[in-house]
């Protein structure tokens, strides 16, 4: 199916209630609701960004120019005043940082596919929080296009230590992030 056709199909697609739908490189990905540890991590991260400087949107679709993708990260962070319109898509050019909290079913997607998609969109900072490994991985300095896109800089910090997010001008406190049982991975950074 051509890129435009799948994107138009996805725009009309209505997943069942309580199911999260994303378009990632021509594939529609469905996932169930997150667990409590996941939601608490997102809330703790979100609450550390000054509201007067940063707009924080949960589960907002992002439009990535040149990509047949409409990802729906756990948290979208952009400067206050950016993307003041309406609609269901935030342009990637308005985004400063995206956050994904790893679940058992999203591990490869969060560390692999979304890393490439977000880099292709030029997202300045991509933060992966992994409650299974009790660590945060911050990816910055995107380069490349399409499936060859990636981030040049990767910083990994264990829970309990702050992680500096220069794009937002903050140090993120990770001491109260919850953990989940370890999972087997096919690949990881």
| Mean pLDDT of each 10-residue bin along the chain, 189 residues long | 84 88 90 91 96 91 91 94 80 96 90 95 97 96 96 97 96 95 65
CATH architecture of 33-172: Alpha-Beta Complex (3.90)
pLDDT of residue 42: 96
pLDDT of residue 134: 95
Structure tokens at 140: 């910055």
Contact yes or no for 126/98 (Cβ under 8 A) = yes
Contact yes or no for 56/77 (Cβ under 8 A) = yes
Check: pTM over 0.85? Answer yes or no.
yes
pLDDT of residue 41: 97
Contacts of 115 (CB under 8 A, 6+ apart): 126, 128, 139, 150, 151
pLDDT of residue 185: 59
Contact yes or no for 61/13 (Cβ under 8 A) = no
pLDDT of residue 81: 74
pLDDT of residue 120: 96
pLDDT of residue 94: 95
In angstroms, the Cα distances linking 110 to 81, 174, 176, 185 are 28, 19, 22, 12
């Amino acid at each position: 199916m051509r890129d435009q056709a799948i994107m138009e199909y996805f725009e009309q697609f209505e997943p069942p209630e309580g199911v999260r739908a994303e378009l990632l490189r021509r594939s529609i990905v469905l996932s169930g609701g997150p667990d409590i540890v996941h939601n608490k991590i997102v809330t703790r991260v979100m609450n550390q960004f000054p509201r007067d400087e940063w707009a924080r949107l949960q589960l907002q679709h992002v439009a990535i120019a040149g990509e047949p993708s409409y990802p729906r990260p756990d948290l979208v962070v952009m400067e206050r005043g950016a993307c003041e319109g309406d609609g269901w898509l935030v342009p990637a050019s308005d985004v400063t940082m995206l956050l994904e909290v790893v679940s058992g079913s999203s591990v490869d997607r969060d560390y692999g596919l979304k890393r490439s998609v977000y880099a292709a969109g030029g997202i300045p900072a991509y933060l992966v929080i992994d409650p299974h490994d009790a660590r945060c991985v911050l990816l910055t300095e995107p380069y490349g296009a399409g499936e060859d896109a990636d981030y040049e800089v990767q910083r990994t910090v264990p829970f309990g230590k702050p992680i500096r997010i220069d794009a937002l001008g903050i140090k993120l406190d990770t001491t109260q992030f919850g953990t989940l049982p370890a999972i087997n991975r096919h690949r990881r950074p």
